[in-house]
Structure 1
Amino acid sequence: MKTIFFKPIHRTTLSAAAFAILLSGCATPPPENPENICAIFEEHRDWYDAAEDARERWGVPIHVPMAMMYQESSFKHDALPPRDYLLGFIPWGRVSSAYGYSQAKTMTWEDYQRETGNSWASRSSFEDAIDFMGWFIYKTYQVNGVSKWDAYGQYLNYHEGWGGYQRKTYLKKPWLVRVSRIVKRRSLTYATQLKTCEEDLQKGWLWRLFFG
């Protein structure tokens, strides 16, 4: 019988692999009813807490980044942009470096990490992604004077960048203008819905245990 020798696995490598498996098994699924922000937060209570923290930190209304996130990733933690193809049929990477809940590009995400000191932030973490979007919306208000409540203008900035918005590059993209209007409508729907349930969402776990 042939003897098979296995190369010893370094303890650090084994630990990293186990951690990766653990994370993949604990990935948060997208909400079952993404059209209703109350249903989203009732299903994922920790998401409301993270969104509320972002609101307090950046002065951003919850319904705006949530509507933008729905459009960007459908609340999928590992969302990726479409594939790029060489000669029209050979897979050639992705059309951009965007990733995660917020579909933040690598360079912009690194700017966020550097400015906020949140070096351990992950694009596949809802808490980090909603804080990133709050930061971006706040910066858009500072740089281009777009209201933090203006989901239409904010989404145009999010897609085109601050310089692109200033150059009005979106005027050459009718599809983007249409999508931005969809984001605006969804944000207004979310805002109306949130008014009906936020009082309950703000109640602690102990209250929900006995009275929820």
Structure 2
Amino acid sequence: MKQGRQSCITKPKAMLAVTVLALSLAGCATPPPSEPDDICEIFYENRDWYDAAEDARERWGAPIQVPMAMMYQESSFKHDALPPRDYLLGFIPWGRVSSAYGYSQAKTGTWDDYKRETGNSWASRTDFADAIDFMGWFIYKTHSINGVSKWDAYGQYLNYHEGWGGYQRKSYLQKPWLVKVSRIVKQRASTYGAQLRSCEEDLQKGWLWRLFFG
């Protein structure tokens, strides 16, 4: 009898602990940066984001300002960003217009390709480090497949939006709005690049240096 009573008491406690842990983790999601137009302030607010972006640059050769400008355009740095809803008959909610999700708005199929090719099987689209690495991978692949410079934010974003095949077919020429948005991404990447040059030396200082001299 004692053993049975202990089991009945322990199970609800265990379930409560799991629930509390899940809620705690959900509450730890990083909110969008308060000054998204300034890449220095973005990284000062989230130091680990800079470390992740630097790692992606070293791994894939993509300058930090390019994937960051693309991410701004795609999700405004919201970890759980979703595409617009689709509607049946114009008014009945019918899922989403695509499977894009998270910081990078990566579609499920492309995200699965990234995980398979990189071995990053536990990658999450709601994790900034995984999302920026995914974008670095995509930029690297775009350069390899379509010859677009990793520094060319305009061409890179067209590939990101249309896919490598769509870019080859020049599908973007039928979408003036996309060409306009890609130019905005290009300008933002240029602005981010200039800003980053003014603060990157400081961002690269370790936590110990900042503890004593920051």
What is residue 50 of structure 2 aligned with on the other side?
48
Amino acid at match of 1:165: Y
Offset at residue 175 of structure 1 (A): 0.2
Query: SS at the partner of 2:112?
Result: helix
Match of 2:171 in 1: 169
TM-score with structure 2 length normalisation? 0.92
Q: Structure 1 12/155 Cα, relative in aligned 2: closer, same or farther at 3 Å?
A: farther
Q: Equivalent residues in 2 for 1:92-103 (5 A)?
A: 92-103=94-105
Is 162-171 or 15-24 further displaced after alignment?
A: 15-24
Q: Which amino acid aligns with 2:43?
A: F
**Residue number in structure 2 paired with 1:208:** 210
- Residue in 1 aligned with 2:188? 186
The residue that corresponds to 1:35 in the other structure is: 37
Q: Tell me which residue corresponds to 1:159.
A: 161
SS at match of 1:92: strand
Which one of 60, 63, 75 corresponds to residue 61 of structure 1? 63
Rounded Cα–Cα distance in structure 2 between residues aligned with 1:10 and 1:153: 55
Residue number in structure 2 paired with 1:24: 26
Q: How does the TM-score come out when normalised to structure 1?
A: 0.93
RMSD: 1.6
How many angstroms apart in 2 are the aligned matches of 1:134 and 1:12?
A: 40
Q: State the Cα distance separating 1:19 from its structure 2 match.
A: 3.7
1:148 equivalent in structure 2: 150
Q: 1:203: how far off?
A: 0.2
Aligned to 2:3: none
- Specify the SS of the correspondent of 1:180: helix
For residues 15 and 144 of structure 1, the distance between their equivalents in structure 2, rounded to whole angstroms, comes to 50
Map Cα deviations across residues 56-77 of structure 1 (whole Å, 9 max, x no partner). 0001100000000000000000
In structure 1, C-alpha distance between the alignment counterparts of 2:178 and 2:185, rounded to whole Å: 10
- Partners of 1:40 and 1:71 in 2: how far apart? 15
* Residue aligning to 1:3: none
How much has 1:88 moved relative to structure 2?
0.3
The structure-2 alpha-carbon separation of the partners of 1:205 and 1:166, relative to structure 1 and needing over 3 Å to count, comes to same
Aligned length: 206
For structure 1, the residue ranges without an aligned partner over 5 or more in a row are: 1-5
Matched, 1:105 2:110: no
Cα 1:9–1:177 change in 2 (3 A) is farther
Q: Percent identity of the aligned residues?
A: 79
The one-letter code matched in structure 1 to 2:162 is E
Counterpart residue identity of residue 77, structure 1: H
Residue 24 (structure 1) shift: 1.1
* Change over 3 Å in CA distance of 1:83–1:119 after alignment to 2: same
